[in-house]
Amino acid sequence: MPDSSTSHFLIAYDIANPKRLIRVHRCLKSYGLPVQYSVFTAELRRKLLEQLLMNIAGIIDHSQDDVRCYTLPNRLEFEVLGQQFFPEGVILFSDLGVNRLLSGSG
């Protein structure tokens, strides 16, 4: 990924200690959007992604915690089953990016 382009990421985590869990959650909130418990989406340039991952690496216990970051394709197809976290009509994934919440139009 070139430095100047942005990509979409899905970041999921399982943190064993409640204090570290809160710190990781706060860190991710400054870079992305929570979509479920322990799952965030983010639209980032490479340098910001590297900074985020370094920040998280400094928080977690590498022998107990698990953090995973997946690159999402530009044309994402998905299904939602069960109760949604966001109100009806809110779109998370669009051609405009995962961090933009659009209500119905846009």
Domain boundaries, position 61: 6-73+83-103
| Cβ contact 24:38 at 8 Å | no
- Look at residue 90 and tell me if it is in a domain: yes
Tally of structural domains, the chain: 1
pLDDT in tens, 58-75: 999 999 999 999 999 877
- Look at residue 78 and tell me if it is in a domain: no
CATH classification at residue 45:
3.30.70.240
- pTM of this structure: 0.73
- Look at residue 25 and tell me if it is in a domain: yes
pLDDT in tens, 12-54: 999 999 999 999 999 999 999 898 889 999 999 999 999 999 9
Q: Is 79 helix (H, G, I), strand (E, B) or coil?
A: coil
Other C-beta atoms lying within 10 Å of the C-beta of residue 62: 8
